Chains A and B, each alone.
Chain A
Amino acid sequence: MSGRDFFSKRTKEVSNTAYRKRMIFSFLIFTILVIAGIFAWKWLNNQPGDQGALKPLRKTLEVNEKLLTSTFDTSKKAKIFDVKDAVKNVRVNGLIGMEKTIDTSAWRLLVVRGEGDTLRISLAEIETLPKEDVVFDFKCIEGWSQVTHWAGVPLKAFMDHYHLFTQQTLSYIGLQSVDKKYYVGIDMPSALQSQTILCYEMNNKPLPMNQGYPLRLIIPVKYGIKHIKQIGTMYFSNVKPPDYWAERGYDYYAGL
Chain B
Amino acid sequence: MKKVVKKHPLAIRWFHWINFPVLTIMIWSGLLIYWANSVYQIKIGNTVIYKFFPKGLYNALNVPFHLAKGMSFHFAFAWLFIINGILYVAYTAISGEWHYLLPNKKSFKEAWQVLLHDLHIRKYEPLQQKYNAAQRIAYTAIIFMGMGSVLTGLAIYKPVQFSWAMFLCGGYEAARVEHFILTIGYVLFFLIHIFQVIKTGWNNFQAMISGLEVIKTENQISANERA
A residues near B (Cβ < 8 Å) are 1-8, 10-16, 19, 22-23, 26-27, 30, 33, 37, 41, 52-54, 56-58, 60-61, 64, 68, 71-73, 76-79, 137, 139-145, 220-221, 245, 248-251, 255-256
Q: A2-B225, A7-B129 are in contact. Are A19 and B4 (CB under 8 A)?
A: yes
Q: Is the interface of B mostly helix, strand, loop or mixed?
A: helix
B37 touches A7 (CB 8 A): no
Q: Is the pair A19, B2 in contact by a Cβ cutoff of 8 Å?
A: yes
Residue numbers in A under 8 Å from B206 (CB-CB)? 23, 27
Q: Which residue of B lies closest to A249 (CB)?
A: B68
Inter-subunit contact B72/A53 (CB<8 Å): yes
Residues of B within 8 A of A (CB): 1-7, 17, 21, 33-34, 36-37, 39, 67-69, 71-73, 75-76, 79, 99-100, 104, 127, 129-130, 158-161, 163, 172-173, 176, 206, 209-212, 214-215, 220-221, 223-227
CB-CB under 8 A from A52, the residues of chain B are: 68
Given A19-B4, A249-B68, check contact A6 B75 (CB 8 Å). Answer: no
Q: Is the CB of B33 within 8 A of A143?
A: yes
> Which residues in B have their C-beta under 8 angstroms from that of A8?
221, 225
Known: A7-B5, A68-B161, A142-B37. A1 touches B129 (CB 8 A): yes
Known: A11-B5, A57-B73, A255-B158. A23 touches B172 (CB 8 A): no
Task: Establish whether residues A5 and B161, one from each chain, have CB atoms under 8 Å apart when the complex forms.
Answer: no
Contact A22 B224 (CB under 8 A): no
Tell me whether A78 and B160 are in contact (CB under 8 A): yes
Which of chain A's residues have a CB closer than 8 A to the CB of B160?
A: 76-79, 220-221, 255-256
In Å, the complex CA distance between A204 and B130 comes to 66
Grouping DSSP codes into helix (H, G, I), strand (E, B) and loop, the A interface class, with mixed when no group exceeds half, is mixed
Whether A72 contacts B227 by the Cβ 8 Å rule is no
- Residues on A with C-beta less than 8 A from B4 are 11-14, 19
Alpha-carbon distance between A77 and B166 when the two chains are bound, in angstroms: 13
A53 to B117, CA, bound (A): 50
B172 touches A14 (CB 8 A): no
Residues of A within 8 A of B220 (CB): 7
| 23 A–B contacts, CB within 8 A, in A order | A3-B223, A3-B225, A6-B129, A6-B224, A8-B221, A8-B225, A10-B7, A15-B1, A16-B2, A23-B212, A54-B72, A57-B73, A60-B75, A60-B76, A61-B76, A76-B163, A78-B159, A139-B172, A143-B33, A143-B37, A143-B176, A144-B37, A256-B159
- Which A residue's beta carbon lies closest to that of B33? A143
B72 with A57: CB separation less than 8 A: yes
Residues of B within 8 A of A142 (CB): 36-37, 67
A251 with B221: CB separation less than 8 A: no
6 tightest Cβ-Cβ pairs between the two chains A and B: A143-B37, A3-B224, A249-B68, A60-B76, A142-B36, A57-B72
Question: In whole angstroms, how far apart are the Cα atoms of A19 and B214 in the complex?
Answer: 10
- With the chains together, A71 CA to B68 CA distance in Å? 24
Given A4-B225, A76-B161, are A251 and B71 also a contact pair (CB < 8 Å)?
yes
CA distance A58 to B73 in the complex (A): 9
Residues of chain A lying within 8 A (CB to CB) of residue B34: 143
